[in-house]
Structure 1
Amino acid sequence: MNDLNDLQSKIESLQNEINFKNGLISILAHDSKSLFGNFVWLIEAIEQKTISEQDFFRLLPQVKSDAQKNLQTVQDSTAWLKTQYGDYKIKPEKIPVVDLFHDLQEKYVADLKQKNLNFYFKGDTKAFVETDRILLQYVLDKIVNNAVKYSLPGQDIYLQEVTEDHQVVISVVDSGTGMDEKFLSNIYTYENPVFQGTAGETGVGLSLKIVKNFISLMQGSIKIVSSESTGTNVSLFLPKLKE
């Protein structure tokens, strides 16, 4: 019976991996086709003088936004590919949680200032987590990025740490726009809608799918609790530092 359960688990794991890769390819193909199609259309319109210079410059901000979104997709895909090829191995190290907070605080200083957001740390400033730094930094970066994206001016964002018996829980909590509960079940699939940030930011939703993949590589889990208009709490459950 145990062998049957193990086999079923492996089959489900392989199916999830296949779905992830197929979804990734689909997103890359769709976005690239859309972006380059817009470029070609603009160039041809200028060559054939079917649009005015005024219309051309009016369209540039949207083209720039599409290009930035496409670049983010490529960067996310590259981060994931590094874990799939070249014999990538998890490299656990002792990481102070508060150092992760300071790194994020420094990276997002301009975005936080632009939207008038406050970013705070809650928890034990001496707490550590033992895991792969590259993967954890990627995961937290994407979660904080979403928190900033969906927060309204003047709101607070927290990076919280709680050390339990067998795990360290790191949470990113915001009081932003949140999402309806009906969307949560599809948050890691390729059918979930693309949400727009409070300053018009957009994304393809790929980052959270890679986040879940990376959390699995770190032998941890992720939980998202969100409610429309009240905010979102994303918690990472990671194995506790070995004594």
Structure 2
Amino acid sequence: MAEPAVSRRERARAATIAEIKEAALGLMAESGATDVRFTDIARIMGMTPPAMYRYYADRDELLEDLITDSYEHLGDSVADARDALDPDDIPGRWHAVAAAYRSWARKESHRFALIFGQPVPGFVASEDGPTTEAAKRAMSQLSALFVAAAHAGILEEPLVTEAPAAVAECAHEKHPELDGIVPAESFQAMLQAWASLHGFVCLEAYGHLDWLGDEARDALFRSHVAMIARAAGIPAAG
């Protein structure tokens, strides 16, 4: 059956919501802070602050929407880079995912800060809300590579093979779909791979690697990603 037509009022509401989010992101980029106020957004849009409440119940609802969008945008960017390569080229896909993660953080610095930076004062995302689900979808791009490598029989033993019982228990409780596919030591290596990649990206995003020239920083990133792969048991790129 055909989808019901969207009414003019619904289109106008959706356009205003999109404009509100764009204004909020613009304020974040301009101020370097992730906390925003309805009064500032309303001023930019030529609205009265009370009119904002027709679209969002409060600031937290707006932030939740922005964080969800940011995770979705990150996930799409990483997935597009991954899917541009042959599914059997798991080493190449790992390098593509890492590069896309870094590129997104550099291009979308205000969004990166919103989801990975200092928590916004007073804001607590719903435990089972849209931000949590969006975060899982975005970050599953990394775990999917380990699963694919395991299924292909090319996931090698990681550098650190001692996985504490607590890590194994976490793997089973949080990701039972990996049972019998990704062993506990590789699950631990997967977390370490993400932490290591994210650490580099954070250092760069917040200017701590600016003392390196662009060429040196790019080279360091490539070698860092190769080092992570080797430690995590992902085969070297051909």
How does the TM-score come out when normalised to structure 1?
0.28
Normalized per residue, the structure richer in helix is 2
How does the TM-score come out when normalised to structure 2?
0.29
Normalized per residue, the structure richer in strand is 1
